[in-house]
A and B are shown apart, each in its own frame.
Chain A
């Protein structure tokens, strides 16, 4: 019996969310009185892999065969299955990232494991094994009981705090058996935006709505975001009008986020929008309409015109950051 965490890397580097997954998986291993192994696929150096030990992995399986250079959902699912079997893992943890969301269901079928997708806190494991996740697009929580012996959990990024618990871990190479049918998909092109903070893992998000009147006014949103180290987002009407790309649309039919701070500027707060952001830890609303429904869901509010408030906020943020350094 063991717990296995699959840690995703981007071009050989782990992001903070990978360490969240390791911390989370280690807490489960502790509760089950067993040890934690981590599996990583791709080019991460031994030094980078060693970081996983800092958060509690006692063993690190390195899968770096040439076939795995590019993401293949079937190939990766197959490799992680073999890692889970090698470790005799009863619980497999990975992030509910774009990659993890594709892999976990396939892993569940391969391992005949129950899957709880999108966990927001540690499972309750006394008696039954129950995992809490958001449902109805953030309007509710569902407690999912996994009734099978083998269990898979995907963890929402930003929902579990990273905590160090250094271990000395051995790095072992794992060379999974390969089925060529798993590599039918070819990657033609990878496009990564380099400088910007990625929206799903951002700790702070600055978001704009129709109240900003047009795409030409997004400069101040981007500037505020840059000073705060935040990602930018928008409401549905904004992406529908092509003021901003669809990938920035948060809400029921866009993406769901749970940053530490969500700053909504010129967004009235329709129920579909709230569904995408309600798991944010702190919500700040800036709107000139004191009756905007978003104020009812906010922790802090400023009633005022975005075109007056945001430039002042930018100046204040510059001063604040200067004071911190």
Chain B
């Protein structure tokens, strides 16, 4: 089974976010970039599936050369090879087009992604790629099993879950419960340096959205403390001051 895992290059989860004075972009100086945590879960699940029943795992990223350390990390975790589409990931439709065009030339049985990236949080690329390829998609998966060319996936629904079955190929977005991420071992780190990392030039495409600006939420006014002996006061405050209960 050939599995493709889509990787986003995102600021570390503990990063304090700051924007340039024009509010158009993130200040990346001093920011540590990592594999998007959900993509790391997808990668781990892909490796588990191929270890069980054979096959290979390729990782793909749409990004400029600065994302290569992130791809090398994915190779250290265990992917066999990496593809970088050499373009700034401008917006979801653009990124999805690049990945879909690559898959049209190099088909895969299963494409796994994170359910969303932790920078833009939209989670739209996997389903867009699926639509461009005309194949099924599960945007938010809880567990993924593959047997005899069929995937059995538990997906989140409002207030519960649904188990679906579907023939491959398909695209699934992975949430936290799909796998437990792995820490690369020394052998993985050493071999990552020599594994293939292919750079592909992007295709031309239109874009439908752009970010007009970013800003940060207003800080909350300072905390109002309630005496621990009388927590009932808290309910009064929620009722009278905030009118939320």
Contact B208–A141 (Cβ < 8 Å): no
A186 to chain B, nearest CB (A): 5
Given A140-B19, A186-B164, A246-B177, check contact A261 B136 (CB 8 Å): no
Contact A253–B220 (Cβ < 8 Å): no
B162 within 8 A of A: yes
Contact B164–A187 (Cβ < 8 Å): yes
Q: Chain B contacts of A101 at CB under 8 A?
A: 123-124, 127, 139-140
Contact B220–A308 (Cβ < 8 Å): no
A204 to chain B, nearest CB (A): 7
Given A98-B157, A105-B131, check contact A309 B228 (CB 8 Å): yes
Assembly CA distance A180 to B65 (angstroms): 42
B166 interface neighbour in A146, A186, A296, Cβ under 8 Å: A186
A90 to chain B, nearest CB (A): 13
Which of A30-38, A41-49, A128-136, A170-178 lies at the binding interface?
A128-136
A98 interface neighbour in B13, B92, B130, B156, Cβ under 8 Å: B156
- Residues 213-235 of B at the A interface (beta carbon under 8 Å): 213-217, 220-221, 223-232, 234-235
Q: Chain B contacts of A97 at CB under 8 A?
A: 158
A99 interface neighbour in B11, B157, B239, Cβ under 8 Å: B157
A86 within 8 A of B: no
Assembly CA distance A279 to B121 (angstroms): 14
A191 interface neighbour in B128, B161, B209, B226, Cβ under 8 Å: B161
Q: Nearest chain-B residue to A185 (Cβ)?
A: B166
B83 to chain A, nearest CB (A): 22
Assembly CA distance A147 to B91 (angstroms): 12
B118-160 CB contact bits vs A (8 Å, 1 = yes)?
Answer: 1111111111101110101111101000000000100111111
Q: Chain A contacts of B220 at CB under 8 A?
A: 283, 297-299
Contact A145–B121 (Cβ < 8 Å): no
B160-190 CB contact bits vs A (8 Å, 1 = yes)?
Answer: 1111111100000001110000000000000
- Residues 308-325 of A at the B interface (beta carbon under 8 Å): 308-309, 312-313, 315-317, 319-320
A141-167 CB contact bits vs B (8 Å, 1 = yes)?
Answer: 111111110000000000000000000
Assembly CA distance A12 to B239 (angstroms): 34
Contact B209–A147 (Cβ < 8 Å): yes
A289 to chain B, nearest CB (A): 13
Contact A312–B231 (Cβ < 8 Å): yes
Contact B234–A300 (Cβ < 8 Å): yes
Q: Nearest chain-B residue to A315 (Cβ)?
A: B232
Q: Nearest chain-B residue to A196 (Cβ)?
A: B159
Q: Chain A contacts of B137 at CB under 8 A?
A: 73-74, 102, 106
Q: Chain B contacts of A260 at CB under 8 A?
A: 244-245
Assembly CA distance A302 to B235 (angstroms): 12
Given A73-B137, A189-B163, A253-B38, check contact A302 B226 (CB 8 Å): yes
- The size class of the interface chain A forms with chain B is 35 or more
A282 interface neighbour in B210, B229, B238, Cβ under 8 Å: B238
B237 within 8 A of A: yes
Contact A308–B118 (Cβ < 8 Å): no
Contact B216–A140 (Cβ < 8 Å): yes
Contact B164–A188 (Cβ < 8 Å): yes
Given A106-B131, A141-B215, check contact A73 B136 (CB 8 Å): yes
Assembly CA distance A169 to B66 (angstroms): 55
Assembly CA distance A308 to B163 (angstroms): 42
Given A10-B158, A247-B156, check contact A302 B166 (CB 8 Å): no
Contact B160–A136 (Cβ < 8 Å): no
Q: Chain B contacts of A271 at CB under 8 A?
A: 13-14, 16
Q: Chain B contacts of A308 at CB under 8 A?
A: 228
Q: Chain A contacts of B175 at CB under 8 A?
A: 246
Q: Chain A contacts of B16 at CB under 8 A?
A: 139, 271
Contact A114–B208 (Cβ < 8 Å): yes
Given A141-B215, A148-B208, A246-B176, check contact A198 B158 (CB 8 Å): yes
A284 within 8 A of B: yes
Contact B244–A282 (Cβ < 8 Å): yes
A214 within 8 A of B: no
A20 within 8 A of B: no
Contact B237–A300 (Cβ < 8 Å): yes
Contact B165–A188 (Cβ < 8 Å): yes
Q: Chain B contacts of A193 at CB under 8 A?
A: 159-160
Contact A190–B162 (Cβ < 8 Å): yes
A55 within 8 A of B: no
A301 within 8 A of B: yes
Contact B119–A135 (Cβ < 8 Å): yes
Beyond the given pairs A98-B139, A109-B96, A204-B245, 14 more chain A to chain B contacts, judged by CB atoms under 8 angstroms and listed by A's residue number, are A10-B158, A106-B127, A110-B131, A118-B121, A140-B214, A145-B211, A184-B136, A184-B167, A187-B164, A192-B160, A254-B176, A261-B244, A285-B223, A319-B232
Jot down 12 A-B pairs with beta carbons below 8 A, ordered by A. Answer: A99-B157, A105-B139, A117-B121, A134-B121, A142-B213, A184-B166, A186-B164, A189-B162, A252-B118, A271-B16, A299-B224, A315-B232
